Amino acid sequence: MTETSTIQRITHLIGHEYWTGTSERTAPVFNPATGRQTGAVDLASKDLVDEVVARAAEAAVGWAATSMTRRGRVLFAFRELLNANRQRIAEIITSEHGKTVADALGEVTRGLEVVEFACGIPHLLKGGHSESVSTSVDSYSLLQPLGVVGVISPFNFPAMVPMWFVPIAIAAGNAVIIKPSEKDPSAVNAIAELWREAGLPAGVINVVHGDKEAVDALLDNPEVRAISFVGSTPIARYVYERGTANGKRIQALGGAKNHMLVLPDADLDLAADAAVSGAYGSAGERCMAVSVVLAVDSVADALVAKIAERVRTLRTGDGTGSADMGPIVTEQSRDRIVGYIEAGDAAGASLVIDGREGPFDGDVDGYYVGPTLFDNVGTEMSIYTDEIFGPVLSVVRVAGFEEGLSLINANEYGNGSVIFTNDGGAARKFEIEVEAGMVGINVPVPVPMAYYSFGGWKNSLFGDSHAHGTEGVHFYTRSKTVTRRWPDPSHRGLSLGFPQNN
């Protein structure tokens, strides 16, 4: 990263070196807390992406041949470097995304857990072996890397989401090209520098900044064997359809509308705390945010009152200060969220807390929307049907468990769903019957640990493989089964008969 005047140039990191070329196109990068431009990121052309893919393909050959012991040592070294640089990377995230530094630290720590999982790659890449499947014949399986893989990551978790994929892909022996969001691109560059310091060979990790042109180039280049994507459902579907049409392996994680069902026997204070933390963390800009509370009628008034009481204590402002919630990532996103608040109010939902009003502890030009709470939301309203991706929580009142479960299962998304109850039977029925990939029981944000896999159902996932965990290892490898015979030295003779197991 080099600096020109007060605007930083943010450019590609290719083979451990920053690109020195001249970009025909750039995109502005802003500090959401102030509304001021802080950087300009170079946008890659198709030709540049193809050049980087070719270099990565060369590096992939040597890295795949590197022993798993050596790969593991690089992973362990990277883990130590990432841990030592958590604060610095968190501050970079806050400066471009807007989330509080504490929230950004949590993001880096969650990514670190996947790195730690990937450190055990020698065990995870073990194949199977069967002796004497036929006379003097043994059979065994191998897991081998794919070659070059691409990671297209979103703005909302500029460090964590790449680390869902990159450590496992590298540990498995692949070369990786990351295309981060152009809204907050600097954190990925900082992390890629740590891979270099950890001893990863040049070309095994590369950062290419860009927009649709760069994405399409990765999807079309035949040397790119697989793509991991996280973003909105329309783009996830596009990535899946174009990538698979080109014969690639695709895991494309899309949008969500996560529901939290609160039954009458639940601890309402616990449920209220969970609703607030689940809805407003990271200003609601996360695919696992609680965006709908399904409150059973008999406890709805009390629950809404408890949620409102807690929301009124939250401070919205600059993420580098003492705020609980930072700004929205861009001015356009802020305006879109405000539009949804206006639409919900006009549609007749009860606007309990209006996040447009402030006060905001930050620059007047910052992109602020405070936590917003709607009650009596109808399922036909846009604040219910659409993924707002902002700090807007909608309360829908339901008659009981069955109505709540039916609403969840009727939704087009199936990322995460949670239930708050002290009834073990209801919880068990919920976990079995709910149509969602990640389920929480008295847990508001059921993001799995790194050794399990992350991903939803329905329009929240395109492709068969979830992120990290064992599914991540399988996604970045392909299996090969070997059937082998070493004839007995005394064996002689020729036979054209069909092989039989005697």
Active site residues: 287
Tell me the residue type at 217: A
Q: Which residue has tokens 């019957």?
A: 433
CA distance 292 to 377: 9
The two tokens of residue 369 are 């929307």
User: Does residue 494 come out as left (phi exceeding 0), alpha (psi in the -120 to 50 range) or beta?
Assistant: beta
Integer Cα distance of 419 and 431 in angstroms: 9
Long-range contacts of 353-360 (CB under 8 A, 24+ apart): 353/308, 353/311, 353/312, 355/316, 355/391, 355/392, 358/316, 360/316, 360/317
3-state DSSP percent of the chain in helix, strand and coil, to 5 = 40, 25, 35
Peptide bond preceding 359 in cis form (omega within 30 of 0): yes
Question: Which token pair is 300?
Answer: 């709805």
Compute the distance between CA of residue 266 and CA of residue 279 in angstroms, rounded to an integer.
18
CB 321 within 8 A of CB 346: no
Alpha carbons 217 and 235: distance in angstroms, whole number: 15
Whether residue 449 contacts residue 443, with contact meaning beta carbons closer than 8 Å, is answered with no
Q: Rg of the Cα trace of the chain?
A: 25
DSSP 448-502: PPTTS-B--EETTEESS--BSHHHHHHHTEEEEEEEEE---TT------SPP---
Q: To the nearest 10°, the Cα dihedral for 160, 451, 236, 433?
A: -130
Integer Cα distance of 244 and 381 in angstroms: 35
**Among candidate residues 425, 396, 377, the one with its CA nearest the CA of residue 265:** 425
- List the end-to-end C-alpha distance of the chain, in Å, as a whole number: 68
